[in-house]
A = this chain, B = another copy of it.
Amino acid sequence: MTTTGADLPRLRELNSLSIVRALRNHPPSTVTELSRRTGLSRPAVDVIAQGLVTDGWASVLEPGASSAVGRPARRYQFRAGAGHVLGVDVGVHKILALLADLDGDIVHSVRHAVDAQAGPAERLAELDEVVSACLTGAGKTPTDIWAVTVAVTGAVDSSGRTSFFTPLPGWKSVDLAAHLSVRFDCPIVVENDCKLAALAERWKGAASDADDIVYLLAGMRTGAGLIIDGVLRRGFGGAAGEIGALPHVRWLKAPGHLQNCPGVPETVGPDDAAAWVFNAAREGHKAARSAVSRYVKDLAVGAAALVLTLDPQVVVFGGGFSRSADLVLDPLRREIERLCLRMPEVRASTLGADSVALGALKLSLNEVDQRLFSAGLSAPVAPRRT
């Protein structure tokens, strides 16, 4: 290959990109290390790395006084603050937005309660407000954001809508990505809440050591997210993990045992009944203990269907009810063991109800890295929709 004068700027851009890649996901590196990793000459790396510092892609670590042997070298590191990502959970009762840098460190978060009966217009307006507040709180504008992922309840089809089913009133035809694209010109992804929670538990939660994970999102609704061979299972049409829709495996009626438990005071609303029952069971309330026991037995049938189908390494008990893992985990283990051929580990979520928004953040980070490492990119640039 001969290089003409006109090719030179492009070649410099390509070399910048390979240095960015050599910095990303590595500890701070010297010019010598970067030269070895990229195959570029040390002088070329030196010039390009300084350019990347100027452009905000990299920062410099000057050698400390402690490195006393010889002349210590300065190190370059990927600047996590070069860009930011958003992860948003649009739930039945709340909207939670997390804004993080490219290391996934959270810079700002905003949480608003939403009326479970709110229609699409009201919920979208609330979403816009939460996102605005999150950007403002972090001192960012939409152009600072490199990827947005929004979690919704219900399987997300190929058009980004929850057309199969969603408990959010009037939400089936909502095109969230189109709505957000007015404000953001970065990649926007819409994904199912259970799937994202599973991703979060593998990222920095209860299953960070596992590649085969069944995640249970347990609350007043029960859902599942599946990670198979390290990859989030979306399904051919986006509807994987929806075992709960099959009446035979009892997830549809499982939370009813808690909601309809005898003895729940009239002052306790339907949304708080389960929490009251778990607390009462913990204090020895007989009907409450029996309700929890029946809840776990039904939860275990659907869990067993997933375990028998996939034979995972780990089952993670997550979602709002995971606050009561102390009451659920042991009987859940016993029931799964009774119903299944090979027993997986059963662990409690360590992220709780925030796992959904954290998973959305992780998918945004994946989206950024995928674009940064895609063969098509000709220079280091912030991701934009094409």
Contacts and interface: CB of A to CB of B under 8 A. Distances in A.
Interface stretch (A175-183, A280-288, A302-310): A302-310
A103 to B, nearest CB: 29
Contacts of A238: 311, 342
State how many copies of this chain the complex holds: 2
Interface in A214-254: 224, 226, 228-229, 231, 233-246, 248-250
A155 interface: yes
Interface in A302-354: 304-306, 308-313, 339-342, 344
A301 interface: yes
B311 A309 contact: no
Interface in A156-212: 157, 164-165, 212
Contact of A240 (B157, B239, B244, B311): B311
Contacts of A228: 228-229, 233
SS class, residues of chain A in contact with chain B: loop
B312 A309 contact: no
Q: Which interface class (under 10, 10 to 19, 20 to 34, 35 or more) fits A?
A: 35 or more
A309 B305 contact: yes
A308 B246 contact: yes
B248 A311 contact: no
Interface in A248-285: 248-250
A202 to B, nearest CB: 14
Contacts of A313: 236
Contacts of A305: 243, 246, 248-249, 305, 309
Interface of A: 155, 157, 164-165, 212, 224, 226, 228-229, 231, 233-246, 248-250, 301, 304-306, 308-313, 339-342, 344
